[in-house]
Structure 1
Amino acid sequence: MAVRWIALLLFMAGTNLHAQQYFEKQYAGVWERNLNYSKAVAEAMPEAGYDFRPTDEAMSFQEQLLHVADNISMLTSRITGDRKNFYRKEDATGFKKVDVMAVLDRANAYVLDLIQNASESQLNEEIEFGGVSMTKENIFYLLRDHQAHHRAQCLVYLRMKGVSAPGYVGW
């Protein structure tokens, strides 16, 4: 019986190690593909379409992308303790496509830097977010999920405007 418990504990320890190794060895590449895909979606929309919104209640294409950057600012502050702003909100109404893309690039590059420099102890640190206890590593997955959600909305906007959408990249 004791041998089974030891085997189970070793298996569980190995699973945790595998998950840690995944983040350290692969997640930066996952994030780079994520940011490149988001950039391709942002690039595909002609500048005139950046103000497009399918309904009065919906965010415009531009607002979707800036919301991603705002969310990166908020979520990364849960990792670092410091809230980084990637643009001045009062300037956003005058933004051109190139300005929005630069904001998105800065925000995504910041996350990539955090991923590449995250220590194991930082990743494993427990925090409370949205009433749920989680590790800081989970915030990095939340960042990707949130961006994918809004990128998908942007893909729908492209199709509604008759713009050819970039092919899917999900690995």
Structure 2
Amino acid sequence: MKNTILILLILFYSVPLKAQNFFTSQYPQVWERASEYTLEVAKAMPEENYGFKPEADAMTFGGQLLHIVDNISFLTRLISGESKTFYDRTKAEELNKDEIIEILENANDYVGSLISGISTDDLNTAIEFRKLEMSKENIFYLLRDHQVHHRGQCIVYLRMAGVKAPPYVGW
């Protein structure tokens, strides 16, 4: 019976350690690869098509990329407590391709710095997001998921505009 309890305790405590180990040892590279792939997708679209959208109610290609940045601004505030704005939203329509790419790169780099600088205790801190309690670690995963979602839409836009999408980059 003591051995069973000991084994259960070891299993109970080892699962969180493995999750923490993944985040600290591998997630920084996961974020970097995901960010680089998004930048490749952004670079693939010719500047004249940054205003492309498949229908009137859809975001433009450039708008999809800025929406990723806006989400980074919103969600990283939950992690750092700092409100970070990467561009003047009132002038979003005036931004060209190179400016949007630079803004996206700066926002992704900011997330990367938060990933590399966060302590395990802070990573496990519970926060409230949309009436749900979750850890700050979950917010990092949400940042990636949101970017992947809109990057996928950008890939569809590329194809609709007759532009070859960059080859897929996975984990």
| TM-score, structure 2 normalization | 0.98
Q: Which runs of 5+ in 1 are unaligned?
A: none
| Letter aligned with residue 43 of structure 1 | K
Deviation at 1:88, TM superposition (A): 0.4
d(CA) in 2 for partners of 1:6, 1:59: 55
d(CA) in 2 for partners of 1:160, 1:5: 59
Alignment partner, residue 119 of structure 1:
119
Deviation at 1:97, TM superposition (A): 0.2
Secondary structure class of the residue paired with 1:55: coil
Deviation at 1:167, TM superposition (A): 0.7
Q: Could you list the per-position Cα deviations for residues 108-162 of structure 1 after superposition, in whole angstroms to 9, with x for gaps in the alignment?
A: 0000000010101110000111121110011000000000000000000000011
Alignment partner, residue 20 of structure 2:
20
Q: Could you list the per-position Cα deviations for residues 5-50 of structure 1 after superposition, in whole angstroms to 9, with x for gaps in the alignment?
A: 3211211211110110111111110010011000000000000110
Identity across matched positions, percent? 51
d(CA) in 1 for partners of 2:132, 2:5: 30
d(CA) in 2 for partners of 1:9, 1:156: 48
Secondary structure class of the residue paired with 2:134: strand
Count of equivalent residues: 171
Alignment partner, residue 43 of structure 2:
43
Q: Could you list the per-position Cα deviations for residues 36-85 of structure 1 after superposition, in whole angstroms to 9, with x for gaps in the alignment?
A: 00000000000011000101111000110000000000000000111100
d(CA) in 2 for partners of 1:29, 1:55: 35
Q: Matches of residues 18-167 of structure 1 in structure 2 within 5 Å?
A: 18-167=18-167
d(CA) in 1 for partners of 2:16, 2:159: 41
d(CA) in 2 for partners of 1:131, 1:104: 28
d(CA) in 1 for partners of 2:113, 2:58: 32
d(CA) in 2 for partners of 1:133, 1:5: 30
Q: Which runs of 5+ in 2 are unaligned?
A: none
Deviation at 1:2, TM superposition (A): 3.8
d(CA) in 2 for partners of 1:56, 1:131: 32
Deviation at 1:90, TM superposition (A): 1.4
